[in-house]
């Protein structure tokens, strides 16, 4: 069960968790305005302060996750990004009655969101205004203390988010490049296949057509020669069929070594730690091909469905095992039936067995393909 050409590897659980952490780590800057809001003497001020801060924090995390997910595949729409930044500014201003000057801490999030989502020029303008607002407000509003730490935090968060946004952008570009490379490779392989099949069948089918036409004309005039031509047509058709089978068989050849190398690359790209063997036992050709199919199928399922953090592949003379520490067999079985069905068919040709289910310790998923020691020698 191979991934469709051009389709990127699925998002892993680690990728999702990292996104929530990157968004939530900045929420500690809201602790000071939150404490101020909780200590307001008037209940309505306390309610306004706490509610606006909670809504602000939740909205910021959701906006960050939306922008991060979108940035992996497409540019972030500038119009919606500006609207979201303006909404964050509005919530920060709405919280002033309940948090007083401490609500300026929300400017840290506004600046970070602007750097992550807006074009560079717009982001620089928002960061500059966010950094200048605390000292200017302290000078103009009686009773407000100088918020120099907020201005410093704005600059610090902006620089940090700039690095995060550039990393996300580069990852998106790399994924797009990998998709394009895969698409071009598939297109090139299709062209090569078409060329080879044309070379194999073009001449044979042309001769078949000519001889069949001749046999049709000679059927009444010279039945013996017509029979000879029909025999030649049959011989040429069988030869062409044999050539096609040899060509397709060459395309379907698979190597355990190559599949392990591809598995290592696929697991690394999906953020999954791979524990793969460095040395392989000597295997008969048929068993090596079967184990290669097992590695391909097992690793594809691990990457696509398991949500695992680690994958272990073991290769023995009589079996190969692919194990992970992900969700377990329920999700994998629901989505991977066709690939495992094909693997069972290949295994049955060598009198082997396919075992799938939870690992012996009760967690994760285990795929084992076993072949009798005397098979395929």
What is the tens place of the pLDDT at every residue in 157-170? 788 777 777 776 67
Residue with tokens 């101020």: 36
Q: Buried b vs exposed e over 70-81: b needs ≥16 C-beta within 10 Å?
A: bbeeeebeeeeb
* Nearest in space to 73 (alpha carbons), one of 185, 2, 158, 178: 178
pLDDT at site 20: 66
pLDDT at site 110: 87
pLDDT at site 217: 82
pLDDT at site 337: 53
Q: Over 50: is that where the pLDDT of 88 sits? A: yes
The larger pLDDT score, comparing residue 281 to residue 70, is at 281
pLDDT at site 371: 92
pLDDT at site 369: 94
End-to-end Cα, the chain, rounded Å: 27
Burial of 362 (0-12, 13-18, 19+ CB in 10 A): exposed
pLDDT at site 238: 83
CA 67-164-181 angle, to 5 degrees, is: 75
CA 332-337-343 angle, to 5 degrees, is: 105
The larger pLDDT score, comparing residue 84 to residue 103, is at 84
| Average confidence score pLDDT of the chain | 77
Coil/strand/helix, residue 356: strand
Q: How far is residue 101's CA from residue 32's CA, in Å, rounded to a whole number?
A: 10
pLDDT at site 306: 77
* Phi, psi values for residue 264, rounded to 5°: -60, -45
Task: Read off the pLDDT band of 276 (50, 70, 90).
Answer: very high
Q: How far is residue 225's CA from residue 214's CA, in Å, rounded to a whole number?
A: 10
Give the mean model confidence (pLDDT) for residues 29-45. 83
pTM for the whole structure = 0.43
The larger pLDDT score, comparing residue 174 to residue 81, is at 81
pLDDT at site 7: 40
Within 10 angstroms of residue 341's Cβ, the number of other Cβ atoms is 11
Of 139-148, 215-224, 290-299, which range is least confident?
Answer: 139-148
Which span out of 18-27, 79-88, 185-194 was modeled with the highest average pLDDT?
79-88
pLDDT at site 36: 82
Q: How far is residue 177's CA from residue 174's CA, in Å, rounded to a whole number?
A: 5
pLDDT at site 1: 38
pLDDT at site 231: 85
Tokens at 112, concatenated: 């970070």
* Nearest in space to 355 (alpha carbons), one of 344, 339, 346, 345: 344
pLDDT tens profile 320-333:
999 998 877 654 44
Q: Judging by DSSP bridges, how do beta strands 365-370 and 353-357 pair with one another?
A: antiparallel
| CA atoms within 13 Å, Cβ hemisphere of 97 | 12
Percentage of the chain lying above the pLDDT 90 cut: 7
Tokens at 299, concatenated: 């690793």
Dihedral of CA 40/45/51/53: which sign?
negative
pLDDT at site 4: 40
* Phi, psi values for residue 330, rounded to 5°: -60, -50
pLDDT tens profile 109-122:
888 888 888 888 88
pLDDT at site 212: 82
pLDDT tens profile 172-208:
677 677 777 877 777 777 777 776 666 566 556 766 7
Burial of 98 (0-12, 13-18, 19+ CB in 10 A): buried
pLDDT at site 6: 39
Give the mean model confidence (pLDDT) for residues 219-243. 81
């Amino acid at each position: 069960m191979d991934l469709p050409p051009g389709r990127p590897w699925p998002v892993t659980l680690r990728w999702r968790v990292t996104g929530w952490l990157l968004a939530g780590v900045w929420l500690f800057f809201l602790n000071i305005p939150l404490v101020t809001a909780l200590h307001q003497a008037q209940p309505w001020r306390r309610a306004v302060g706490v509610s606006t801060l909670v809504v602000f924090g939740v909205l910021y995390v959701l906006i960050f996750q939306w922008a991060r997910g979108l940035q992996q595949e497409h540019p972030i729409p500038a119009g919606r990004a500006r609207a979201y930044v303006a909404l964050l500014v509005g919530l920060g201003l709405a919280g002033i009655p309940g948090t007083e000057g401490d609500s300026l801490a929300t400017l840290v999030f506004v600046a970070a969101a602007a750097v992550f989502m807006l074009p560079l020029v717009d982001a620089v303008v928002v960061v500059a205004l966010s950094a200048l607002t605390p000292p200017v407000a302290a000078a103009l509003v009686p009773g407000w203390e100088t918020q120099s730490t907020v201005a410093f935090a704005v600059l610090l968060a902006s620089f940090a988010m700039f690095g995060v946004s550039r990393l996300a952008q580069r990852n998106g570009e790399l994924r797009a490049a990998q998709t394009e490379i895969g698409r071009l490779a598939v297109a090139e392989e299709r062209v090569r296949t078409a060329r080879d099949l044309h070379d194999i069948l073009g001449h044979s089918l042309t001769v078949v057509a000519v001889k069949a036409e001749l046999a049709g004309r000679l059927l009444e005039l010279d039945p013996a020669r017509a029979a000879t031509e029909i025999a030649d047509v049959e011989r040429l058709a069988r030869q062409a069929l044999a050539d096609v089978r040899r060509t397709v068989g060459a395309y379907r050849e698979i190597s355990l070594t190559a599949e392990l190398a591809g598995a290592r690359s696929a697991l690394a790209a999906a953020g999954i730690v791979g524990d793969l063997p460095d040395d392989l036992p000597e295997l008969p050709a048929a068993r090596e091909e079967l184990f290669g199919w097992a590695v391909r199928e097992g690793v594809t399922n691990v990457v696509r469905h398991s949500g695992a953090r680690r994958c272990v592949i073991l290769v023995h003379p009589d079996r190969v095992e692919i194990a992970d520490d992900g969700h377990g067999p329920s999700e994998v079985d629901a989505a991977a039936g066709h690939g495992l069905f094909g693997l069972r068919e290949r295994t049955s040709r060598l009198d082997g067995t396919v075992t799938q289910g939870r690992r012996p310790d009760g967690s994760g998923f285990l795929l084992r393909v076993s072949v009798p020691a005397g098979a395929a020698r």
